[in-house]
Amino acid sequence: MSTTIQKVRGRQFFANPGPTNIPDSVLRALDRPSIDFNDPEFVPVYDEAFAGVKRVLQTSQHVFMYNASGHGAWEASLTNLLSPGDTILVIESGYFSVEWAAMARSHGLDVQVLQADWRHGADMAALRTMLAADTAHAIRAVCVVHNETATGMMLPLPEIRAALDATGHPALFLVDTISSLGSLDFRMDEWKIDCVVGGSQKGLMLPTGLSFTGVSDKGMAAHQDAKLKRFYFDWTMMGKRAQKSFIGTIPVNIFYGLRESVRLLDEEGLPNVFARHTRLAEATRRAVQVWAGNNGPRLYCTNPSRYSDSVTAILMPEGYDAEAVRRVARMRFNVSLGGGLGVLGGKIFRIGHLGDLNEPMVLGALSAVEMALRIAGVPHGRGGVDAAMDFLAG
Ligand SMILES: *Cc1c(COP(=O)(O)O)cnc(C)c1O
């Protein structure tokens, strides 16, 4: 197959689960000259963007921001809340839960894992049993990836909160919401989440590079005793700076973009944003379910109550390479799909359907995938895009 990219006109269809499409109005907001971050013209931009992030997090508590991708906010969440030797419980969901756990171990934390089948998801009864067995309350924090971007699975945060409450367990509740915030229903205060990890380049439709943590009052109290080493990410030090939530040079352009992206989310209304993601995700799943005929590619997630509405992972039939499908989609049709991460490399591909997307954009990506399956000689059921259209027009 030719590896030269056709010089086609039109936009690249970006069906990657992060980064995501940047809306035109956000691109325009970003496009401006430098300004001093203490300038009276910039300060209200910062404040409005900041207030917008709190609305999207659905919190009235604390938020701290970093010039870093999501990994930085992960590091902030662990180092600000925990001390060397502390035990934490990570609920396994896939690549991102494994990486967060690896980061915790590298900081000297004792990591317990609630193991789970990546296709079916963690068992909430097993979580309750584990929490109930910890009568000494050694587990200081429970860490959960709300939406496992690597496998296309959503974890039920209210059920996890309920397991903590039912067992009377005082552990801090830490949630990675990087690929769910601004796409899936998420309520920091209502679900009593103590630390939320978020990033700019997924549901917030911005370039990569800004990440943040929402922190509860309980989290701030735990922070007072947390002895892990930190400097740039230190919340106490941030509290002493003018902005109370940021150390170092503020990325002013990103804040202009952030103010616009939260305005877009406000304008559409979060319930409508979530409903749109559910609709586009269901259309994608309908297409995949048709492709699964004839021993074709199928949904990686086998548990319908855990389907992710922001990304769908698709498992290739035995003996077929997901990278070949991605290559055809990219080279022939200028469609960018997500690949398999870590051990799932070559075995799955992922269609991101989060952020600035509508029906024809998703149908365009699905059409390209269906054509790529044909061209790459992958067996599949024909008519997946029809099924998606039937659903969307229904
Ligand atoms: C993208 C992602 C990350 C990593 O974020 P970076 O910005 O790439 O550092 C972590 N967790 C989840 C769930 C993600 O989707």
Per-residue pLDDT of the chain (394 residues; tens, 9 = 90+): 455 665 667 889 999 999 999 999 999 999 999 999 999 999 999 999 999 999 999 999 999 999 999 999 999 999 999 999 999 999 999 999 999 999 999 999 999 999 999 999 999 999 999 999 999 999 999 999 999 999 999 999 999 999 999 999 999 999 999 999 999 999 999 999 999 999 999 999 999 999 999 999 999 999 999 999 999 999 999 999 988 899 999 999 999 999 999 999 999 999 999 999 999 999 999 999 999 999 999 999 999 999 999 999 999 999 999 999 999 999 999 999 999 999 999 999 999 999 999 999 999 999 999 999 999 999 999 999 999 999 999 9
Closest residue CA from atom 6 of ligand 1: 70
CA of 29 to the centre of ligand 1 (A): 24
Is residue 18 within 6 Å of ligand 1 at its C-beta? yes
Residue 245's pLDDT is 92
Taking the CA of residue 147 as reference, the ligand 1 atom at the shortest distance is 13
Is residue 75 within 6 Å of ligand 1 at its C-beta? no
Residue 5's pLDDT is 60
**Close Cβ partners of 90 (under 8 Å, ≥ 6 residues apart):** 97, 100, 101, 104, 111, 112, 113, 114, 142, 143, 144
CA triple 245-248-252, angle to 5 deg: 80
Residue 3's pLDDT is 53
Is residue 145 within 6 Å of ligand 1 at its C-beta? yes
Is residue 70 within 6 Å of ligand 1 at its C-beta? yes
**Close Cβ partners of 72 (under 8 Å, ≥ 6 residues apart):** 66, 211, 233
Token pair, residue 33, equals 């000259």
**Close Cβ partners of 313 (under 8 Å, ≥ 6 residues apart):** 150, 151, 152, 299, 300, 301, 340, 344, 348, 349, 350
pTM assigned to the model: 0.97
Q: What 8-state DSSP symbol labels residue 201?
A: S
* Cβ–Cβ < 8 Å for 42, 35: yes
CA of 8 to the centre of ligand 1 (A): 31
Report the C-alpha gap between 120 and 107 in whole angstroms. Answer: 30
CA of 46 to the centre of ligand 1 (A): 24
Query: Which domains does the chain show, CATH number per domain?
Result: 13-21+270-393 (3.90.1150.10), 24-266 (3.40.640.10)
Strand-by-strand arrangement of the 298-299 sheet = 13-15, 335-339, 348-352, 311-315, 298-299
Report the C-alpha gap between 196 and 177 in whole angstroms. Answer: 7
